[in-house]
Chains A and B, each alone.
Chain A
Amino acid sequence: MAGSKQEQLFTKFKEQAEAISARVYRVHDSSAAGRQLENIIKELNIKKIAAAKSGLVADCLKALNTQDVAVHTSDLRRHAEDAELGLSEVDMAIAETGTLAQDSTALDQRLVSTLPPVHVALVRIDRQVDKFVDAVDYFNEQDLMPGYIAFISGPSRTADIERVLTIGVHGPEQLHIIFVDQAGGETCE
């Protein structure tokens, strides 16, 4: 993808995602992602993390100073219940709507993005698409339709009482999105 196109998409994504209450960061590589995560942990005083495994997640965690925080990457059904932060890598970012898209067939991916009150999502900068329907096409073109595709746009929300918008109902009340420029390793194709 041409650099300028990527920049345009990122600008659009950030604008759209922030408009629906997500926070968007951009870092150079996975260790910078680890430092960004550390900032979030400090700011929110997080003590327990549940992380769904991926190459980028592992690299990011490596860069994290984990003395004060317990990080769990297995037995997540139990740990995600009371973890204060869930960490995962998503497959794609959709600029038009500020949406993240992920093949969430693996249970862990769903647990860390639904149960903890804070979800931090890592996404490779070269995994941006422009339109929502582009992402639909992407999944449709795969040989086998994934079992569970998740599209996530901002934190969970409701307007069910008097139509007053309230952020954070059943899902996370905070969504942090960290774009990584040079993620290294495999892209998660």
Chain B
Amino acid sequence: MSDKQQIKHNIEKALANENLRGALGRFGNDYVGARERAYTGKDFEELRDQIAAVKGDAADRMEELAGRFTESAQARGAKVFRARTAQDAKDYIKNLAQEKGATKIVKSKSMATEEIHLNEYLGRQGLDSVETDLGEWILQLCGQKPSHMVMPAIHMTRDEVADIFSKETTQELSADIPQLVELARKQLRKKFLAADIGISGANIAVAETGTLVIVTNEGNARLTTTLPPVHVAVVGLEKLVDEFDGVKPIIEALPRSATGQKITSYVTMITGPTPAAYPDGTVQEKELHIILLDNGRTEMQADPVFKEALQCIRCASCLNVCPVFQLLGGHVYGHIYTGGIGTILTAFFNGFQEAGELQNLCLGCERCKRFCPGKIDLPKLIRELRSRVVEKGGLPGGQKFVLEKVLPNRKLFHRLIKAGQLGQKPFQKGARIRHLPMFLAGLTEGRSLPVIADKAFRDQARNLSVPEGPSKESTPDSKEKVGFFAGCLTDFVYPQLGQAAHKVLKHLNKEMVFPAGQTCCGVPAVLMGVRESAVHLAQQNIEAFEQAGVDAVVTCCPSCAQALKERYMELMETDPAWHERAKALAGKVQHITAYVADKSGNGSSLRLKQTGGRVTYHDSCHMKGCLGITEEPRQLLAAAGLELAEMDGSDLCCGFGGSYSVKFPSISSQILDKKLHSMEAANAPTVALDCPGCKLQISGGLDSRGKELPVKHTVEILAEKI
């Protein structure tokens, strides 16, 4: 099977697995609250700034720190081995076991040893290497791989575990969790007491002191590092920090972000060998071997963009908050490191080609970015990965044609849409407007087709009226000239949003203009990794708004707003002149809802009709997560006399993700199901939101399920109340 087929196959399998969805779904829901409570009294932003500084510095000086660590640890009596490859590390351990005449090994949880498939290897050498972390042991017994970095067996049920343990102990066990845990304790206790070597990982390695820090709950790492007379620690180079002080922010954030605990049951800090009991009954210093593992890490360090991924502390919050992970679990990713960060790590540890298919799983909702204690911009890294894969391997024919040829050519692009030629060659078979541009695409499963409007907003905009004369309560900025950026969905599918925006702005005594030179914001091209087209589109838009000479730029779409505000500067990074122009534009851009709230005293000066009613509000990913706008729409809706009925998980993704709903319709549709469910439970006659993409996804979903629940952009609601 090709990578692509393999992933498709894994997805279908995961979606069919009810247990998995139950466990992950429950966890995903609990996690956010538990984490929040654990951080009470802590300043998360400050902590993650500190972690980013400590780990960023360590990444910059990785080689120097590895040297310093080696010296410090050796001075305390440890043996340090630098393993360049996975094989080097495995050979070292094999040789050590041979030299000691050791056959029995206990292991505590370590992603680095999973990464190099140490257990299988040691098994083939005739060594009995036992995982002692409960989840890892379960997986070892049934020959599976971890699906989550922190909770490796989260995909399994108690019944499955009972079956596995029954087989292992040849007795009939019931699916009673405390009993299963007790059995594991007894079985593994024997292994601990008999082991010749203990193998662990480490969460932090301190260069200054040669200290290893290990964070656990079960207590197996304490036994692993206490009982056997030989301790081997396998430590990835990214675990290094320079000073002992650097431990502090990491130890504060890791348990809180990983499991919502203020602290784990055990934190162990080991510096040099400590006494151990030998089989002959004597107590002497043990042997401590520390393997510093490279395996692709220096390559990552040398990469100006991906270096950032070395700031990861492996807390797995980026998995826990990912709507795709919640649905599919980790096995879909096919490698040890899963989720968004897993995609990046896989690229370096297993190769770009494999990761190339995985990055497609990202919805681009950017939720993980808000949660990452390493302050890693994962969405950016995934976009970068995408564009490098595309640069190397290219896009499939139809997509390539659209993104490289059609999209940058505004006239051709618009003519094609208008001509309704969307389903014809050279586009892919099947659905009509499939790949034009990715925004307009989401057809198929679980959602009705968007209808291209008879008259695009750009054609309606020629006759936009201008406010007549100065208003009575004229303010200094009331004559402001506001440029309207439509974006594809407003322009071609929902021109009524443009009309509503115009009505509201006019009511505020603003002159709204529509620069006709504007085009697609470029997000689809960015997301598909076609950087050149994205740059081209960005330049067209910058020019169009410069020529229009506007004071402010507004748009109904938070994704477009983010593109204009941030992405363009990122795209122009290497071109100072264009970067300046992008920056000037960025400074003027606001989402329409924030703009209106700003200019109307949160709606008070709009003097809206108070007809009463209830509404529930969906926080779009890019609205809340990227633009940080949550209060303004709620204030405006309240100003319109509407009572807000909050839904559960108002900020959970609706599954739109631009082209995503096309690439993975079944995933998208299940994420949508979840959203619709909580939306209906809020029991309000109207859904309000601030993104045309979400509007398309949600109203299409409701429609195809035969539900009549109007879904309106905030600006539409305001326009109705004027």
User: What residues make up the interface of A, taking CB atoms closer than 8 Å to B?
Assistant: 16, 20, 77, 81, 96-97, 99, 105-107, 110-111, 114-115, 132-133, 136, 139-140, 145-164, 166, 168-172
**B550 cross-chain contacts in A, Cβ below 8 A:** none
- Asked if A170 contacts B267 (CB within 8 A), the reply is no
Which stretch in B246-254, B476-484, B610-618, B681-689 binds the other chain?
B246-254
Question: How far is it, in angstroms, between the C-alpha of A151 and the C-alpha of B244 when the chains are bound?
Answer: 16
Which chain B positions have C-beta within 8 A of A111? 226
Q: Which of B128-136, B338-346, B371-379, B440-448 contacts A (4 or more CB under 8 A)?
A: B128-136
Nearest to B288 among chain A residues (CB) is A147
**Which B residues are CB-close (under 8 A) to A152?**
265-266
CA distance A91 to B620 in the complex (A): 50
CB distance from A91 to the nearest CB of B (A): 13
CB <8 Å contact, A97 and B262: yes
Stretch in B146-154, B457-465, B563-571 touching the partner: B146-154
Stretch with Cβ within 8 A of A (4 or more), from B84-92, B274-282, B513-521: B274-282
A169 lies within 8 A of B226 (CB): no
Which of A97, A154, A171 has a CB less than 8 Å from the CB of B218?
A171
> Does A162 contact B251, Cβ atoms closer than 8 Å?
no
Contacts of A168 in B (CB 8 A): 181-182, 185
Which one of B134, B154, B263, B270 contacts A158 once the chains associate, using CB atoms below 8 Å? B134
Tell me which of B156-164, B576-584, B648-656 binds A.
Answer: B156-164
| Cβ–Cβ contact A145 & B244, under 8 A | yes
> Which residues of B (1-46) have their CB < 8 Å from a CB of A?
23, 26-27
- Partner of B133 from the list A20, A107, A160 (CB cut-off 8 Å) is A160
Closest B residue to A77 by CB, please name it: B277
Please list the residues of chain B having a beta carbon within 8 angstroms of any beta carbon in chain A.
23, 26-27, 76, 132-135, 138, 151-154, 156-158, 161, 177-178, 180-182, 184-185, 188-189, 192-193, 209, 211, 217-220, 222-223, 225-226, 244-245, 247-248, 251-252, 259, 262-277, 281, 283
B27 touches A163 (CB 8 A): yes
- Residue pair A155, B265 in contact (C-beta under 8 Å): yes
**Cβ of B226: which chain A residues have Cβ within 8 Å of it?**
107, 110-111, 114
Check B153–A160 contact: CB distance below 8 A.
Answer: yes
User: B169 to chain A: closest CB distance in Å?
Assistant: 16
CB distance from A135 to the nearest CB of B (A): 10
Instruction: List residues of chain A with CB within 8 A of the CB of B157.
Output: 162
Contacts of B182 in A (CB 8 A): 168
| Inter-chain contact B223/A114, CB cutoff 8 Å | yes
Check A150 against B178 for contact (C-beta < 8 Å).
no
Residues of B within 8 A of A164 (CB): 158, 177
Which residues of A have CB within 8 Å of B154?
163
Structural contact, B134 and A160, CB atoms closer than 8 A:
yes
- Contact across chains for A132 and B177 when beta carbons are under 8 A apart: no
Shortest Cβ gap from B475 to chain A (Å): 50
Chain A residue with minimal CB distance to B273?
Answer: A147
Which A residues lie within 8 Å of B277 (CB)?
Answer: 77, 107
Closest to A16 in B: B262
Q: Are A157 and B23 in contact (CB under 8 A)?
A: no
Instruction: Answer whether A169 and B220 are a contact pair too, CB < 8 Å, given A147-B272, A161-B134.
Output: yes
Q: A77-B283, A105-B274, A136-B248 are in contact. Are A158 and B267 (CB under 8 A)?
A: no
* With A136-B251, A161-B153, A161-B180: A150-B222 Cβ-Cβ less than 8 Å: yes
Give the chain A neighbours of B192 by CB distance below 8 A: 170
Contact A157/B265 with A107-B226, A136-B251, A145-B211 known, Cβ cut-off 8 Å: yes
- In angstroms, Cα B274 to Cα A106, docked, is 8
- Are the C-beta atoms of B219 and A171 separated by less than 8 Å? yes
List residues of chain A with CB within 8 A of the CB of B217.
156-159, 169
Which of chain B's residues have a CB closer than 8 A to the CB of A160? 133-135, 138, 151-153, 218
For the complex of A and B, list the 6 residue pairs with the smallest distance between their C-beta atoms, beginning with the closest.
A171-B219, A160-B135, A156-B219, A77-B277, A151-B267, A149-B269
Taking a contact as CB atoms under 8 Å apart, the answer to whether A146 and B268 are in contact is no
Residues of A within 8 A of B259 (CB): 159
Q: CA separation between A110 and B222, bound complex, in Å? A: 8
The residues of B that contact A157 with a CB separation of less than 8 Å are: 217-218, 265
- If A148-B270, A153-B263 touch, whether A81 touches B193 (CB-CB below 8 Å) is yes
Closest to A110 in B: B226
Contact of A169 among B26, B184, B193, B274 (CB under 8 A): B184
Chain B residues in 8 Å Cβ range of A154: 265
A20 to chain B, nearest CB (A): 8
| Chain B residues closer than 8 Å to A107, beta-carbon distance | 226, 274-277, 283
What's the nearest-Cβ distance from chain A to residue B670, in Å? 21
Q: Which residues of A contact B26 (CB under 8 A)?
A: 163
| Interchain CB contact under 8 A, B262 and A169 | no
In the assembled complex, the Cα of A65 lies from the Cα of B445 at a distance in Å of 75
Which chain B residue has the least Cβ–Cβ distance from A94?
A: B263
Question: Could you tell me if A114 and B222 are in contact, using CB atoms closer than 8 angstroms?
Answer: yes
Given A140-B245, A160-B152, A162-B158, A170–B223 Cβ distance below 8 Å? Answer: yes
Nearest chain B CB to A1 CB, angstrom units: 22
* Residue of chain A at shortest CB distance from B225: A148
Residues of B within 8 A of A105 (CB): 274-275
Measured between beta carbons, the chain A residues less than 8 angstroms from B276 are 107
- Residues on B with C-beta less than 8 A from A156 are 217-219, 265-266
Which residues of chain A come closer than 8 Å to B189, judged between CB atoms? 170
**CB nearest to B72 among chain A residues:** A145
Q: Is the CB of B23 within 8 A of A163?
A: yes
- A148-B225, A153-B264, A171-B266 given; name 14 further pairs at CB < 8 Å: A151-B268, A153-B266, A155-B265, A156-B219, A158-B217, A160-B153, A160-B218, A161-B177, A162-B23, A162-B158, A163-B27, A168-B185, A170-B132, A170-B222
